[in-house]
Amino acid sequence: MAELTVRGAAPKQDRSRATRRRLLEAAVTCLAEHGWTGSTVTVVAERAGVSRGAAQHHFPTREELFTAAVEYVAEQRSAVLRDLPGTASTHAVVELVVGLYTGPLFRAALQLWVAASHEPQLGPRVAALEARIGRETHRMTLELLHADEATPGVRETVQGLLDMARGLGLANLLSDDSARRGRVVAQWARLVDEALAG
Amino acid sequence: MAELTVRGAAPKQDRSRATRRRLLEAAVTCLAEHGWTGSTVTVVAERAGVSRGAAQHHFPTREELFTAAVEYVAEQRSAVLRDLPGTASTHAVVELVVGLYTGPLFRAALQLWVAASHEPQLGPRVAALEARIGRETHRMTLELLHADEATPGVRETVQGLLDMARGLGLANLLSDDSARRGRVVAQWARLVDEALAG
């Protein structure tokens, strides 16, 4: 009997996990397309093809749904960095890191970030999430660049690079900035390369 | 008689200009504090101590009021750059440029920028405004750094610096990032200095 229960539980858990993922993906798309104000649990549930009740079973509040969605996005972004071979050139690493900040995933995170600056229920939650994501991205970028933080200036060189990537993401919000971005990435990859070598 | 009319017109024009300025300043504060959704013409007029009718006389639509407000902010920011002496160090210039992106004025512009990404009436207007502001800031930064765009790489070094400043502004949105920012600014001022020296 115990075995039967376990066997029966697995597909149910799978279904639950699939529903959760559908909700998170719908939440990210909603945020990117309509901003925080236009993104309600009802809109997301509808988009995911899930009942409002089921959505609230997974995420009791709107804040929980959207911060979980941005966390989910961040994990996908981390996976992209982890998949890069350790032999990649500085240019390839900078290009990839900048790519993390210019896609629809960053667009969704940005909407939440800006909403958090004037929504008290979102503020501390999103600030903590962004700090965690920032640390993780910094750690992986250092590793990919084979950079040693013990060397003075290295930490700030890489931090400034990530700030630049974030600024490029913002510049890409209202118009396609990819041509200019390609040239800035090439030049800054050279500057970072020289700084890390020196 | 003609002279009398002119004399009489001046204070009226002054009053009108003062009302306009009060509306713009109130609009910037509203945007920074409440975001686009919470910023209506009524809220701004009330804050400025101006009747709704007078506000609409100056700015017939909500979009006109808020893009004018961000333009007003941009002019104030430009004035800060213009006042810096031509002998300022690279560190002083980088610090000042980054300062443009970390204050309440940038916070207001950011709210409008993000709203424009999903509000069709705002999109083209804000995109054109941001392009104009970006070009002007770039031109002034080049001048302050005594950098010559004819030298390969210089244009992209300075563009990347402005992108970094924008990213630092974003990083400062949810928490006070000034200590980290000071270290990043010091390091990248060194790197930009070396890059421009050739």
Closest partner CB to B195 (pick from A110, A162, A191) = A191
CA distance B108 to chain A (A): 10
Q: What is the CA radius of gyration of chain B?
A: 20
Q: What percent of chain A has pLDDT over 90?
A: 70
Closest partner CB to B171 (pick from A33, A166, A168) = A166
- In the predicted model, is pLDDT for residue B92 greater than 60? yes
> What is the domain class of A2-197 according to CATH?
mainly alpha
The ipTM, to two decimals, is 0.90
- In the predicted model, is pLDDT for residue A80 greater than 90? no
Q: Which two structure tokens, joined as six digits, stand for A105? A: 């995933």
Residue type, A147: A
- In the predicted model, is pLDDT for residue A3 greater than 80? no
CA distance B123 to chain A (A): 7
Contact A114 B117 (CB under 8 A): no
Contact B175 A131 (CB under 8 A): yes
Contact A164 B163 (CB under 8 A): yes
Helix or strand or coil: residue A148?
coil
Q: What is the mean pLDDT of chain B?
A: 91
pLDDT in tens, A21-61: 999 999 999 998 889 989 999 999 999 999 999 999 999 99
pLDDT in tens, A81-112: 888 888 899 999 999 999 999 988 888 999 99
Closest partner CB to A167 (pick from B113, B165, B183) = B165
- Winning range, highest mean pLDDT, from B34-38, B84-88, B168-172: B168-172
CA distance A167 to chain B (A): 4
Among the listed residues B132, B169, B194, the one whose alpha carbon sits nearest the alpha carbon of residue A193: B194
CA distance B57 to chain A (A): 29
Tell which of A187, A190, A192, A193 to mutate to test the B interface (max B CBs under 10 Å).
Answer: A187
pLDDT band per the 50, 70, 90 thresholds, residue A8: low
pLDDT in tens, A140-162: 999 999 999 999 999 999 999 99
b/e per residue, A100-138, with b = 16+ CB within 10 A? Answer: bbbeebbbbbbbbbbbbbbbeebbebbbebbeebbeebb
Contact A166 B167 (CB under 8 A): yes
